[in-house]
Structure formats: C-alpha cells, structure tokens
Amino acid sequence: MRIGVFGGTFDPVHIGHLLLAETALVQAGLSKVLFMPAYIQPFKQGVQMSSDDDRIRMLNFATKDNPRFEVSTIECDKGGISYTIDSLRALREENAGAEICFLIGTDMFLNIEKWKDSDALISEFGFAVGVRPGYHTSEAEALAEKLKKTYGARIDFIDNPPIELSSTEIRQRVKDGDTIRYRVQETVRIYLLAREKEGQKRFEHTKRVVDLAVSMARRYGEDEYRTSVAALLHDYCKNPDGGVENDIGHAGMAADIAKNEFGIADEDLLNAIRYHTTGRAGMSRLEKILFLADTIEPGRTYDSISELRETCLKDLDKGVYTVLVELKAYLEKKGVAVSVDTEAAISECQGGKSWITEN
C-alpha cells in the first residue's frame, strides 16, 4: 500500500490542490491521499492566517465526496512549528507496512534541501512532484536527478493539469469581492463567503450552530451535509446594526441568496434557512434542527438554556415547542410583534401533541 501525504497550509484548499491529489492517486499508484494542514508552516512563521479550525473544516468539506481523500490533523493536534520529517515518521508508525509518499508542488520541491533534516526526509520517503505553473519543471527534474543519485530517492513527476492558482489569490479575491466560483469546491466557497460577510467573531456562532446542527442531524437521522450548508448560510444576511427589521427579515433574505447566488435548489434546505428565526406550522426535520441549533448552541447563555438543551437533545418536537413558547414570551416582553408563523407553529403543537397537556 502506498499512501500519499499532501502537506500545506491550505488557507484555503483550492482546485489546484485537489487536481494534483486526484492525479497523483492514479499516476503514483496511491491507495489514498491524506491532506495534512500544517499548524505553523516553517517558512510562514509570523504570517497571519486562518485558524487551523477553519482550514480543517474547509478541507473536510472539500474532500468529503472522495472516498480516497482524508484529512490528517496530526500537525494541528501537535501544535507548534510543523516539520514534515516528524509528521511523516509519525504517520509511518501509524501505518505500519505502508509506503509513505509526500505530495508536493514544484515551487516547494525546488526548496526541499532547506527543509529540516532534508537528507533524512529525501532518503526515507518517496516524493510525487506536481506541476505548478511559473516554476521550471526542468530545474525540478535536474534537482530530482541529483537527489536520486545522492540519496537513492524515489521521485515521481505527476502530470497534473497546470492550474495557475494559489490560496493567496483566493484570499485576495474574497477580500475584493471577486468571484471564486469553480476556483474552490462549492462548500468551501460558501464557507469563505459566509465568514467574510459575517466577520470572524459572528462566524464563530455560525460554526457552533453547524456543529450542534450536525450532531442533531446524526442523532435524528437527517443528512449531515444539507444540515451543514443550511447552518453555514443561516445568518448570511444578519446585520447587527439592522434593527428589528433585519432581525425579522434576515432569514428570508439569506434563503433568497442561497437560492439565487449559491444555486441551491433543495426547497427543504431553503426553508430551514427561511424559517430559522420564527419556526412555522409543518416544519420538516431539517427545519426543526436548524431552528433549535441556532437557539441552543453552546455560545448562548440564558437562564433556562441547560434545561432547554436537554429537552432538545431528548425530543425534537418537545424542544421545538418549548423554544417557540419561550420565543413568544420573549418577544411579547420586548414589545415586538410575534410572527404569524410562530403563532401557527405553536397552535399546531398544541393541537396535536398530548405531552403538552400532560406536562
């Protein structure tokens, strides 16, 4: 078995990375590719970058459809400066009997002799070197010949489609409001745009909603991917300075953007976004999950929250009813009109559930 290990910062992972990995699977005869985000890349020390949490989440989204792609968090779990030699040795121990092959673009390969313990790295592990436009393949080939002679290294060249793209360019395009469609996998695009729109601080709430919604999806048998997308986009149009109007309208606006700008056609997913603040009569399982996850995510702190969390994790419908009633009481106290959808949802629960009168 030959396992490919693809190191990088992946801030964010883009299609240049994915195409190199996919091509290497075939051309280097790999059984799988482990994407291994660095915690701190030795040559990027002091450079501001996305958190390891964000980079790992995006990698998980980008690789989820490929059964032969995995994400290894070995360097992020360890923390500190990530030296490839240490990580590859640890992975070799974890995968006894497998041959480890390090995937690398030409730009990085040309500097390989400057890496920590490069002589050991080159003699102990195989390399699969991918084309990166702008970097001379002839220079890389000459270097490979030299390393083969000196260390008996195994170096394969991968004929991946040359994609002139970098994470730096993606980050810049997001900042400038330029399109990144097709440059990154679609969920990575949603992730990056939602983070940019909300700002890192508010996006932390979104991430907690994603996590809780996904764990509820697992528990209640809902599709985890649709749940994550709905949660990622639920507050896309929330504006903290937008007052009551935005409080009421942001969910519908986000559903419209999900449909028109992100091309999401799944009506149930769109409804989960549209009704996440009010609820409504006839909510689907996904709608209930997002409605609850937004209300009880771990960052929310109010008096009855732990009791509420327990209820929601035990019984979805009971949770929805409890939250609806608390929502109505809260709005009435604030003198804000209760949505007709919330009223309808409460009436529906009261009409059909015997446990409401029993408790």
Question: Which residues in 17-56 contact ligand ATP (CB under 6 A)?
Answer: 17, 20
In the structure encoding, which two tokens stand for residue 292, read together? Answer: 């609850």
**Which position among 138, 168, 301, 359 is part of the footprint of ligand ATP (CB under 6 A)?**
168
Q: How far is the CB of 167 from ligand ATP (least distance, A)?
A: 3
Q: Is 11 in the site for ligand ATP (CB under 6 A)?
A: yes
Closer residue to ligand ATP in complex, CB, 20/293: 20
DSSP 121-186: HHHHSEEEEEP-TTS-HHHHHHHHHHHHHHH---EEEE-PPP----HHHHHHHHHHT---BTTB-H
Q: Is 231 in the site for ligand ATP (CB under 6 A)?
A: no
Pairwise CA distance, residues 342 & 354, whole Å: 20
Q: How far is the CB of 200 from ligand ATP (least distance, A)?
A: 18
Closer residue to ligand ATP in complex, CB, 58/272: 58
Beta bridge partners of 167: none
Pairwise CA distance, residues 218 & 166, whole Å: 35
Rounded to 10 degrees, what is the CA torsion of 47, 168, 171, 104? -100
Span of 10-18, 28-36, 240-248, 313-321 interacting with ligand ATP by CB under 6 A = 10-18
Q: Which residue is nearest to ligand ATP (CB)?
A: 105
Q: Is 4 in the site for ligand ATP (CB under 6 A)?
A: no
Strands 69-71 and 155-158, bridge-based pairing: unpaired
Question: Which residues in 70-129 contact ligand ATP (CB under 6 A)?
Answer: 104-105, 107-108
Nearest to 98 by CA among 20, 22, 34: 34
Beta bridge partners of 32: 3
Q: How far is the CB of 48 from ligand ATP (least distance, A)?
A: 11
Q: How far is the CB of 49 from ligand ATP (least distance, A)?
A: 8
**Which position among 3, 4, 5, 10 is part of the footprint of ligand ATP (CB under 6 A)?**
10
Residues that bind ligand ATP (CB under 6 A): 8-11, 16-17, 20, 104-105, 107-108, 130, 132, 163, 165-168
